[in-house]
Amino acid sequence: MGLLFCSTGALLTRKNNRDHRLLAEIAPGVRCDGFEFMMYDTWYDTWEKIAEDVAKMKLRIPVFHVEKRIGERISRNEEGDNADARRLFEINCRMARRFGAEKLVLHLWGGIYSDRDIKNNIEQYALLRETAEKYGLLLTVENVVCNREDPLLHMKELAAEYPDISFTVDVRFAQFHGQLDRIFEEEYGWLWEGAVKHLHFSDYAGGYMEWEKLGKCLHPREGVIDYGRLFENIRRVGYRGTSTLESTSVLPDGRVDLEKLNGSLEYLRSGI
């Protein structure tokens, strides 16, 4: 398999106050090939200080997860929302370059407005991509959940408009929409011929579009995803790109359960 990363979102949550400084002591114990940095909406006022602190840690951060409010702003599409989203996106790009990242993971739509005005989301992608390229970053669009249509439909629409677009596939989101098997079917073979540049791993313990279960980002084998079949599908399509474990690993007292986290990382390595 390709390189396997760990999301900083699995390490920094509200339980430990999203204290970025904790990465210095947590990261050395995580047996991964690098990290996917998760940007939070509460960090914009101090983003330069956070970027400086994290850069000094000399962590390998090849992937940067763009802050999710950006897609929510674009989805709401009220006066000034698109411009504000682009402003915030550029801050994310600046942080990503400070860390030496190569890829961005973007929620192009999201929140309660989701895909209600998907045409606008698709149009805004071109402007965001232009900014990402200015910073030497590859922009990938994630198969984020929808409340009107479904992610695969919008991925097809995006690919029709931008044939060289890149995607991140999140297996939990795909399972939520009942599309985890479908995404590997012949109809979507084009995704695995170069469009998919990154994978997100975790688990989901709900049924089809069971919203109240979506917020729990479980570890592999804690939910309903058939990881054996998933591994077979990934091998069959020949995917050799990068991946990230996103499963939340913070205990109630704010400590990180490194034993569980590393166990999941090893499970993914052995499965693919």
pLDDT in tens, 138-155: 999 999 999 999 999 999
Please compute, for residue 241, the number of CA atoms within 13 A of its CA located in the half-sphere on the CB side.
23
Provide the 10 A C-beta neighbour count for residue 102: 16
Q: Is residue 87 helix, strand or coil?
A: helix
What's the angle, vertex CA 139, arms to CA 135 and CA 143, rounded to 5?
160
For 246, what's the count of Cα atoms within 13 Å in the CB-facing half-sphere?
23
Task: Tell me how far apart the alpha carbons of residues 78 and 64 are, in angstroms, rounded to a whole number.
Answer: 27
Residue 34 · residue 5 · CB < 8 Å: yes
pLDDT at 272: 83
**What does the DSSP 8-state code read for residue 219?**
P
Residue-range domains of the chain with CATH: 4-271 (3.20.20.150)
pLDDT at position 144? 98
Q: What is the pLDDT along the chain (272 residues), one digit of tens a residue?
A: 699 999 999 999 999 999 999 999 999 999 999 999 999 999 999 999 999 999 999 999 999 999 999 999 999 999 999 999 999 999 999 999 999 999 999 999 999 999 999 999 999 999 999 999 999 999 999 999 999 999 999 999 999 999 999 999 999 999 999 999 999 999 999 999 999 999 999 999 999 999 999 989 999 999 999 999 999 999 999 999 999 999 999 999 999 999 999 999 999 999 98
Residue type at 260 in one-letter notation: K
How many whole angstroms separate alpha carbon 158 and alpha carbon 152? Answer: 10
**CA 111 to CA 67: how far, in whole Å?**
12
Query: What integer pLDDT is reported at residue 201 of this predicted model?
Result: 98
Q: What is the DSSP letter of 10?
A: G
Per-residue pLDDT tens digits for 24-34:
999 999 999 99
pLDDT at residue number 266: 98
- Tokens for 103, please give them: 């890829």
Q: Is the pTM of this model over 0.85?
A: yes
